[in-house]
Amino acid sequence: MSPASTSSAPELIGVGASLVDLLLAVDDDFLTRHVSGSKGGMEWADAEVIAGLVSLSGREPLQVAGGSASNTTAGCAALGIRSAFIGAVGRDDLGGFYRQALVERGCEPRLVERHGQPTGRVLSLVTPDAQRTMRTCLGASAGMAGQHFTAETFAGTRLVMLEGYALFNHDLARAVAAAAHAAGAEFALDLASFEVVRANRAVVEELLANHVDVVFANEDEATAWNPGGPQAALDDLARLVPTVVVKLGKDGALIADGDARSRVGSPTVEAIDTTGAGDNFAAGFLSARLRGLPAPACAELGAQCGAAAVQVMGAHLPGDQWARLKGWLDAWA
């Protein structure tokens, strides 16, 4: 990954898995019969398992470019933030599809192509209550390594965003965080899922205490961190991190910014799919932060972006929705 010159550097760089989302509507009975683990969670699976679940459904999934940090980064690009995404893909059709999808969304693709490995994919099983249960095959993304990241990787960048799923690779997460701060950039982390928090608590705490400037958690992730609930988790996390956001879905979000505490609501909408809601919330929040807005206003835009996401299948909003949200940001900034 060659460094960018500071004059042309993106304001925000996202780092994470390059995954093609396969979105499949199923009922709860399908989950009971064919899927192990908790509803609403994420587990690793190989490509054959994913293909088998698709076959059992008897339906063709909707295919879109995804990945948590990628969704957030492309959302920031749609909101007018100069953005780039670092990830790894295979030398295959899905890899080409993924690169072009980033370009079309105005996000600079900084993708490493890996020989002999397929582009990653994630099967998102969406039930009628709009919850999504995910099975993920990292493919080429599993080959990302800490030695790829130095301060030069992020030269001139104001904020680096790492997705929580990367926490399963402890060396990678530590390297990205250290490189971001060595470059003088802020570092944001989304905790991604309650399984991530439970499985990687020690490294999460290490990063929060030493590198993280902004952390995002939803209710399940917050409760996995502190069983006392969202408010207790907010206060606990705020002892480690300057800015903490606990997302409450349709009930908005709790924010701790230094000593200040606030809460924002969320627009009332009809949810059909929660895929990407948190990613788009983060896009709104971070875009507003980069434009200098106070934390409650950042969370308000985040809530609007998240509410827009749950009204469509998948994480990608139509252009008119992004135009409306960018108009809100431009008016405030």
**Residue 15: which H helix or E strand, with range?**
strand 12-15
Specify the DSSP class assigned to residue 318.
Answer: P
Paired tokens of 215: 């952390």
Look at residue 329 in the predicted model and tell me its pLDDT.
96
- Give the pLDDT score at 5: 40
Q: Does the predicted model carry a pTM greater than 0.85? A: yes
Residue 276 is predicted with a pLDDT of: 86
| Structural domains in the chain, sorted by start | 12-16+68-107+145-332 (3.40.1190.20)
Cα distance between residue 230 and residue 185, in whole Å:
28
Among 191, 196, 309, which residue's Cα sits nearest to residue 250?
Answer: 309
pLDDT of residue 102: 96
User: Which of 182, 157, 3 has its CA nearest to residue 81?
Assistant: 157
- Give average pLDDT by consecutive 10-residue segment, the chain, 333 residues: 57 95 92 91 89 94 90 97 97 92 95 90 90 90 89 97 94 97 97 93 96 97 96 97 96 96 93 87 98 97 95 85 95 85
- Any residues with CB less than 8 A from the CB of 104 and at least 6 apart, and which? none
Q: Measured between alpha carbons, how far is 48 from 45 in angstroms, rounded to an integer? A: 8
Q: What is residue 275's three-state secondary structure?
A: coil
DSSP letter string, 117-148: -PEEEEEEEE-TTS-EEEEEEEEGGGG--GGG
Predicted confidence at residue 7, as pLDDT, reads 52
**CA dist., res. 167 & res. 114, Å (int):** 21
Other C-beta atoms closer than 10 Å to the C-beta of 7 total 6
Which of these, 268, 266, 270, lies nearest to 303 by C-alpha position? 266
Say what the pLDDT of residue 86 is.
Answer: 97
Q: Which of 29, 115, 124, 126 is nearest to 68 (CA)?
A: 124
3-class SS at 272?
coil
The whole-number pLDDT of residue 333 equals 74
Give yes or no for a contact between 113 and 90, defined as CB atoms under 8 angstroms apart: yes
Q: How many CA atoms lie within 13 A of 242 on its CB side?
A: 9
Half-sphere exposure of 311 (CA within 13 A, CB side): 14
